[in-house]
Chains A and B, each alone.
Chain A
Amino acid sequence: MKGRLHSIETFGTVDGPGIRTVFFMQGCPAKCLYCHNPDSWDLNGGNRYIEISEILHWVERGRTYYGEKGGVTFSGGEPLLQGEFITEAIKAIHSIGIKSAIDVSGTYVDEHTEAAVAECDLVLLDIKHTDAEKFETITGKSQETLLRLIDIINKHDKHVWIRNVIVPGINDTDEDIHQLNEFIKRIKHIDKIELLGYHTMGVNKYGKLGITYRLKGVPAMNEKKLTYLRNLVRMPE
């Protein structure tokens, strides 16, 4: 069985706990306004396939670095677009004693999603926006999908890291954070909530791909403001 791969990062330190091997899978159904990896959108883009055996090869090469907390993260793109492959990969990785996380956008669910969620050890869940209308503006997809995914995650009692990219003018008010606090109450096991500041480092990729960048002129998120907003975040009781 083969998966479509965008790239591998052998030293992931922010996508889940500890040191992780991160497989960035190719293809994403969403077209988020601020996406800094537009080159990972097209499922048929790139020309790199990866087999389970190669995944295991890289996991063995990373094993001594993982310690007790680290492991593998499947990110993207949207890894659930290749749910069947991800499920098989995580099973194989489990069989050699290593844990896996999936880093998902909440914009895609299909018949393979539940198996993938059930198999993984941690979900990094991006909450694009708490407001259904704005969610659609940012991602081009319905927020219904996110809610369905949360049901699946809760059903399997999976632990979750919440992530929310804060963009000036889109979701950077006190009210936005209060709404986020409300919204995530529906998720059973939250280990961590991360607000990530919008940055402009991916912008030049758009030019190369001939895609219009829709947030042109929006400045990177101010660090001070971000720290202020982080203090408003409340872990659900």
Chain B
Amino acid sequence: MKKEWKGFNTGSWTEQIDVEEFISLNYKPYDGDDTFLAGPTKRTEECCARVQELLAVERKAGGTLKVDSSRIMRINAFGPGYIVPGKDIIVGLQTDEPLKRGICPFGGIKMVREEVAEFGETLPEDINKIFEYVTTHNDGVFKAYSKEMKQVRHLGFITGLPDAYGRGRIIGDYRRAALYGIDFLIEEKKKDHEMIASRHVMNEENIRTAEEVFNQIQALKEIKKMADSYGFDISGPAKDVKEAIQWTYFAYLAGIKEENGAAMSLGRTSTFIDIYAERDLANGVYTEEEIQEFIDDFILKLRVARHLRTTEYNELFGGDPMWITEGIGGVGMDGRHKVTKTSFRYLQTLYNLGPAPEPNLTVLWSAKLPEPFKQFCAKVSIDTDSIQYENDDKMRPHCGEDYSIACCVSAIQMGQQMQFFGARCNLAKILLLGLNGGIEERTGEKVGPQMEPVGDGPIDFDDAWKRFNIYLEWLMELYVNIMNIIHSMHDKYDFERSQMAFLNSEVKRLMAFGVAGLSVAADSLSAIKYAKVYPIRDENGVIIDFKTEGEFPKYGNDDDRVDDIAIAISGRTIEELRKHPTYRNAVHTLSVLTITSNVMYGKKTGNTPDGRRAGTPFAPGANPMHERDSHGAVASLNSVSKIDWEICQDGISNTFSITPEALGKDRGSQIDTLVGLLNGYFQRGAHHLNVNVLNRNLLKDAYDNPEKYPNLTVRVSGYAVRFNALSKNHQKEVIARTFHQGI
């Protein structure tokens, strides 16, 4: 028993790594309200003001403050950096200055060159030289891609593939650093390495794993060195709440120093940290004000994390997101909820530091969460538009009690699972391709199986559905194979050693596929089924538009006739994906999520039978198409709730905007209504909800006068952004979304 564990209930966690058991044996559920919370200290306000200044400069500079391409980002590439030297109490930055961005070339040197060039710089000669000899992930992937793979990629059937930079979506269990200290983790990894390397059959998998574990040990040693440069010895366990936060943060920081994955979640730390906070409060080590100050400073650090991106990247994932997602709340397998005082303290940062998109605070909602916590969450949503909600009652039976959220909506078991991220395919384009018999609607290019296009109409639903399925079958095989190549190359050339060091050496893997344009595809098929749809062809006979006569049910109105089509599409997609074996036996999962790429997907898609014009953005995620949900918020939510999480275990994202007036006439009733809405939606089995409580006019004003709204935060699709950080096109799309209003 280590001295740092004094006062903790012991279990097998003291002998082997088991953070989940440690939490379960030691946390104290908190049933009270928010009145105990402390406001910001003077020091917090000072550091926060400094960050606000820097953000203003960053905004003026066009979104990126400073780029340092002099060295490759590794754990110890940069010496220590501070927000306000001498004032930071939780320390550590990616580089030696806040908001300064470095380069991560192992995902793809090409993209790094583009990134650097956009800021008028070139890479130093020594770095260029290295990549004359070293293969990056991006190089590897394109060596293996077939012609057809490249074709579906450039035509926009599959977009956003992580084949040019870090894949992200891996969540280390960074709490391990605090609970055990780095030395213990190294010892455990050494044992694992010996066990794996001594197996009777050294097949490809065992050889690869042994090498990976070796690299993880190397990373752990470097993390110790990094902490040392800030004056901390993290070889042993953390002894109090301040150290627990600091150790956890160092572990996380190493990952975002050397990897630039699209989404790099924090995990599920609040209830873990709370155990230390409770012990310190009981022993008089720290006061509530001090504990809140540690958390505020930790969160402030996460708010200045940045990756260097290209303009093209930002078109897909607008708003400069990091997806530092933190899951808060939820319920344990023993039925006790996992809300603690620190769950409140994390949310309180949105008041102490002001609203902000990062970290991506995600409430794991359950019918069993205590009422005062539900009320507090609703209040924070109404005040800040900065949090999202996911259904713990849906995920827990499958993922256990200690999972966290990768990126926006993807549940991953802490410490035991990793995910292969895989962007998304365009369902609306698959339908159009089917109707055209294998001719892409914008270019006239032939792709996929070739067959006769549909006749002059009205198009027969059974025929359209058959065609959709033929091309779905074709594309899903290709999709799995593309993903296999990407992740094989990523493991080989850009292995995330510092994140994987905080996972079990032999992890379970998920392969996360995705779809975009679900509502467009469902409404289009509904039009074909319930109205009369006639194709319109160009001079070459390619169907480029449709004449749709009559009314048809639209997704988003709780109308089973069309909602069943959306359900069938998602079911058929995962069925097709599962037919094809995956790299490292990963489990196929599926998401209905678009980030902000719904704008890009729409741009790459021609006219559709639902009346949507070519180039018009899709609805985000699983949302109904803008303004087509006309029967009120409940009907809209109910349609989305029918898309089954069992089918789409990588998540079903719904972004919901409502005016404050529609929630109720006074603040008390607005909070009650939002709690009721969340209860009702999740009880119907829905998975995810982004909540924005605001008026369209406010966004219009922010569009015209950005300087008036430096901190306006909105939830877009599984994450939040500063409205100002979005491109004008993305802003327009957000403004065009349905706002549920009073009647």
Which residue of chain A has its CB nearest to the CB of B558?
A61
> Would you call A13 an interface residue if the criterion is a C-beta within 8 Å of the partner chain's C-beta atoms?
yes
A62 is an interface residue with CB less than 8 A from chain B: yes
Q: What distance in Å separates the Cβ of B40 from its nearest Cβ neighbour in chain A?
A: 33
Find B664's partner among A14, A21, A22 (CB 8 Å cutoff): A14
Is A10 part of the contact surface with B, judged by Cβ < 8 Å?
yes
Contact at A9–B631, with CB atoms within 8 Å?
yes
Name the interface residues of B607-653: CB closer than 8 Å to any CB of A. Answer: 631-635, 638
Contact of A29 with B by CB under 8 A: no
Chain A residues positioned under 8 Å from B680 (CB to CB): 19, 62, 64-67
Q: Does B673 contact A (CB under 8 A)?
A: yes
**Residue in A10, A13, A22 whose CB lies within 8 Å of B662:** A13
Identify whether the interface residues of A are mostly helix, strand, loop, or mixed. Answer: mixed
Residues of A within 8 A of B249 (CB): none
A70 and B676 contacting across the interface, CB-CB below 8 Å: yes
| Interface residue? A49 (CB, 8 A) | no
Q: What chain A residues lie within 8 Å of B638 (beta carbons)?
A: 10, 61
Q: Does A12 contact B (CB under 8 A)?
A: yes
- Complex contact A13–B673 (CB within 8 A): yes
User: Does A168 lie at the interface of the complex (its beta carbon under 8 Å from any beta carbon of B)?
Assistant: no
- With A11-B662, A13-B662, A14-B742 known as contacts, the answer to whether A65 contacts B631 (CB < 8 A) is no
- Closest Cβ of chain B to A39, distance in Å, is 14
Chain B contacts for A140, CB-based, 8 A:
none
Quick check: B632 and A11 within 8 Å, CB to CB?
yes
Is B195 in contact with chain A by the CB < 8 A criterion? no
CA distance A62 to B740 in the complex (A): 16
- State the CA gap A9–B629 with chains docked (Å): 11
Q: How far is the CB of B663 from chain A (nearest CB, A)?
A: 6
Whether B672 sits at the interface, judged by CB under 8 Å, is yes
In A17-36, the 8 Å CB interface with B consists of: 18-19, 21-22
- Smallest Cβ distance from B367 to chain A, in angstroms? 10
Q: Does A50 contact B (CB under 8 A)?
A: no
Show the binding face of B for A, using Cβ within 8 Å. 558, 631-635, 638, 662-665, 669, 672-673, 676-677, 679-681, 683-684, 740, 742-743
Partner of B672, one of A9, A18, A22, A61: A18
Q: What are 17 A-B interface contacts by the 8 Å CB criterion?
A: A8-B631, A9-B743, A10-B633, A11-B633, A11-B635, A11-B740, A12-B743, A13-B663, A13-B664, A15-B743, A19-B634, A19-B673, A21-B634, A64-B680, A65-B681, A66-B680, A70-B676
Which residue, of A12, A22, A64, has the highest number of chain B Cβ atoms within 10 A? A64
Q: Which residues of A contact B679 (CB under 8 A)?
A: 64-65, 67
User: In whole angstroms, how far apart are the Cα atoms of A67 and B742 in the complex?
Assistant: 20
Beyond A61-B638, A65-B681, whether A10 also contacts B631 by CB under 8 A is yes
A-side residues, CB < 8 A to B, are: 8-15, 18-19, 21-22, 61-62, 64-67, 69-70
Smallest CB separation, B456 vs chain A (Å): 32
Docked Cα-Cα span, A70 to B638, in Å, equals 17
Query: A68 — nearest CB in chain B belongs to which residue?
Result: B676
In whole Å, how far is A40's beta carbon from the nearest beta carbon of chain B? 12
Chain A residues with Cβ below 8 Å from B676 are 18-19, 65-67, 70
Nearest CB to that of B631 among chain A residues? Answer: A10
Residues from chain A with a CB closer than 8 A to the CB of B663 are: 13
* A10, B683: Cα distance in complex, Å: 16
Complex alpha-carbon distance, A70 and B669, angstroms: 12
Given contacts A14-B665, A64-B679, A67-B676, 16 further A-B contacts (CB under 8 A): A8-B631, A10-B633, A10-B635, A11-B634, A11-B677, A12-B632, A14-B743, A18-B672, A18-B673, A18-B676, A19-B634, A61-B635, A62-B634, A65-B634, A65-B681, A66-B680
Chain B residues, CB < 8 A from A15: 743
A69 to B668, CA, bound (A): 14
In angstroms, how far is the closest chain A Cβ from the Cβ of B672?
Answer: 7
Q: In the complex the two chains form, what is the Cα distance from A65 to B675 in whole Å?
A: 9
Return the 7 tightest CB-CB contacts between A and B, nearest first: A65-B680, A10-B634, A10-B632, A11-B633, A64-B683, A11-B632, A64-B680
Determine which of B673, B681, B684, B743 lies in contact with A22 in the assembled complex, contact meaning CB atoms within 8 Å.
B743
Within the complex, the shortest CB–CB distance from A99 to chain B, in Å, comes to 14
What are the residues of chain B within 8 A of A65 when measuring CB–CB? 634, 676-677, 679-681
Complex CA gap A8/B630 in Å reads 10
For the complex formed, measure the closest distance between the CB of A58 and the CB atoms of chain B, giving whole angstroms. 8
Q: Which residues of B contact A61 (CB under 8 A)?
A: 558, 634-635, 638
In the bound complex, how far is the Cα of B673 from the Cα of A21, in angstroms?
Answer: 13
Q: Shortest beta-carbon distance, A68 to chain B, in Å?
A: 9
- A231–B207 Cα distance when bound, in Å, is 78
Instruction: Please give, as numbers and ranges, the residues of chain B lying within 8 Å of A22 by CB-CB distance.
Output: 743
Task: Tell me the nearest residue of chain A to B675, going by C-beta.
Answer: A67
Cβ of B632 and Cβ of A9 under 8 Å apart?
A: yes
What B residues does A21 contact at CB under 8 A? 634
CA distance A19 to B676 in the complex (A): 7
CA distance A9 to B557 in the complex (A): 11
Q: In the complex, which residues of chain A have a beta carbon less than 8 angstroms from the beta carbon of B672?
A: 18, 69
C-alpha gap A67/B674 in the complex (Å) = 12
Contacts of A13 in B (CB 8 A): 662-664, 669, 673, 742
Q: What chain B residues lie within 8 Å of A66 (beta carbons)? A: 676, 680
Residues of chain B within 8 A of A70, CB atoms compared: 676
Query: Which of chain A's residues have a CB closer than 8 A to the CB of B633?
Result: 10-11
Contacts of A69 in B (CB 8 A): 672
Q: How far is the CA of A209 from the CA of B233 in the complex (A)?
A: 78
Q: Whole-angstrom distance from the CB of A74 to the nearest CB of chain B? A: 14
A10–B677 contact, CB under 8 A?
no
The winner among A15, A21, A61 for most chain B CB atoms within 10 A is A61
Bound-state Cα–Cα, A11 to B676, Å: 11
B743 touches A8 (CB 8 A): no
A104 to chain B, nearest CB (A): 17
| Cα-based distance from A147 to B555 in the complex (angstroms) | 46
A35 to chain B, nearest CB (A): 14
State the CA gap A231–B159 with chains docked (Å): 58
A209, chain B: closest CB distance, angstroms? 19
B508 → chain A, closest Cβ, in Å? 33
State in angstroms the CA–CA spacing of A14 and B666 once bound together.
Answer: 11
Most chain B CB within 10 A, of A13, A15, A64, A65, is at A13
Contacts of B743 in A (CB 8 A): 9, 12, 14-15, 22
Chain A minimum-CB-distance residue to B669: A13
* A11–B658 alpha-carbon span in the complex (Å): 11
Inside 8 A of A9's CB, which chain B residues have their CB? Answer: 631-632, 743
Quick one: given A13-B669, A22-B743, are A64 and B684 in contact (CB under 8 Å)? Answer: yes
Bound complex: CA A64 to CA B678 (Å): 10
Chain B residue numbers with a CB within 8 Å of A10 are 558, 631-635, 638
Query: Closest CB-CB distance, A122 to chain B, in whole Å?
Result: 16
Q: Are B677 and A8 in contact (CB under 8 A)?
A: no
* Min distance, Cβ B320 to any Cβ of chain A, angstroms: 34
Q: Which residue of B lies closest to A9 (CB)?
A: B632
Q: What distance in Å separates the Cβ of B41 from its nearest Cβ neighbour in chain A?
A: 37
Closest B residue to A62 using CB positions: B634
Nearest B residue to A194 via CB reads B665
